[in-house]
Amino acid sequence: MTKGTVRAFICFEIDQHVSAALGRLIDEGRALGERISWSKPEKIHLTLKFLGDIENAQVEQVSQIVRQLAEKQREFKLTIDKLGAFPNFQRPRVFWVGTTDVPAELNTLVTELEDALAQIGFARERRAFAPHLTLGRAKSDRCAQTAGFLKTKQLESRKVHCAELVLMKSDLQPSGAVYTPLATFDLQPGKHV
């Protein structure tokens, strides 16, 4: 990050009951003792778009886009019911929880967000959107025990209430990233949320 820029992303923060459940899962994984940088449960979020380093002047532009999208999007729930690894469990770099059924509202929101941000110069994501919550990042190739544990773990499904979009600042520190909301935008109340 250079002077006059902010490292930022757009996300949904996670309900406390979901982050607490993920914290228990992380504790089980940590107990295996492999070299994995585990996420702090209170920092777990669902990233919709990583923006990288953006000019301070762009923060307001991005905020306006997110505000406009939030004003027309209804809140929804996302069911977290699947464990996985990127790129896979044989060579894991990132361990995550995700969903087997992506809500149409989420796909629409991400598509509209990508389209709007592309109009002001942000690169489109090359990979298909794969909604996930990062549990941890492997620090070595030797994490087969953790991969085996998570691959076979029965995950109790949880509902994530997606009701507030957050434009988040990320400051990288030796102790880990520090997240600070730059702006939050409520989605419209849903009928069956």
Domains of the chain, start order: 5-186 (3.90.1140.10)
Looking at residue 191, what is its pLDDT?
A: 63
Residue written as token pair 């209170």 = 42
Looking at residue 47, what is its pLDDT?
A: 98
Three-class SS state of 173: strand
80 pairs with which residues across the strands? 158
> Within 10 A of 184 (CB to CB), how many other CB atoms are there?
15
The one-letter amino acid code at 47 reads T
Tokens of 80: 């977290």
* pLDDT tens over the chain, length 193 residues: 567 899 999 999 999 999 999 999 999 999 999 999 999 999 999 999 999 999 998 999 999 999 999 999 999 999 999 999 999 999 999 999 999 999 999 999 999 999 999 999 999 999 999 999 999 999 988 899 999 999 999 999 999 999 999 999 999 888 788 999 999 999 999 765 4
> In angstroms, rounded to a whole number, what is the distance separating the alpha carbons of residues 48 and 63?
14
Looking at residue 177, what is its pLDDT?
A: 85
> In angstroms, rounded to a whole number, what is the distance separating the alpha carbons of residues 122 and 131?
20
